[in-house]
Each structure stands twice: as structure tokens, then as C-alpha cells.
Amino acid sequence: MMTTKAKTAGKTKKTTSTGEKTKTTKVTARKKTSAASTRSTPTEEDIRQKAYEIYHQRLARGESGSDMDDWKKAVELLKDK
């Protein structure tokens, strides 16, 4: 049975002064997202929860309204955060 060594992509293994091999790690860049772009696009679940809160608050005050009004207000409030 024949064994083969895996090639590294043009990188050499580093060794310490005592001849021991050191472990190399690959560093990957993370995608940066600005806080403004994250805040301006609430998820549907976030909107649903906020609209539900608005609905209960509206009922507690005895005000009339619709589910669409609650949804629109939730979107507006979450985008302003």
C-alpha cells in the first residue's frame, strides 16, 4: 500500500529551534456589516413580534385599528432603532 503526503499550498512547515513542527492556521477575513445596514432591515419575525406588542398595547388603551396599521408602525419603529 502506497501513502502520499498532502501538499500545502506553497507554504512550508515551520519548526522551532528544537526541531518540533508548529501548527499553522489559516486566517480568513470576516465580512464587515455596518450597524446602519443591520438596523434598517428588520427580519419578518422581528416585525411580527413588534406588531403583536403594538396590537396588545392598542387594545389595552381601547383604541381601534387594524393589523396592517400595527404592522406598518412596527416596521417604522424597528427601522428607526
pLDDT per residue over 3-40, tens digit each? 555 555 555 556 566 766 666 667 666 665 555 555 56
| SS3 of residue 78 by DSSP | helix
Contacts of 71 (CB under 8 A, 6+ apart): 47, 51
pLDDT per residue over 53-68, tens digit each? 999 999 999 999 999 9
pTM across the whole model = 0.51
Residue 46 banded pLDDT, cuts 50, 70, 90: very high
Phi, psi of 21 (to 5 degrees): -80, 140
How confident is the model at residue 5, as a pLDDT? 56
- CA-CA distance, 9 to 12, in Å (whole number)? 9
Domain boundaries, the chain: 42-80
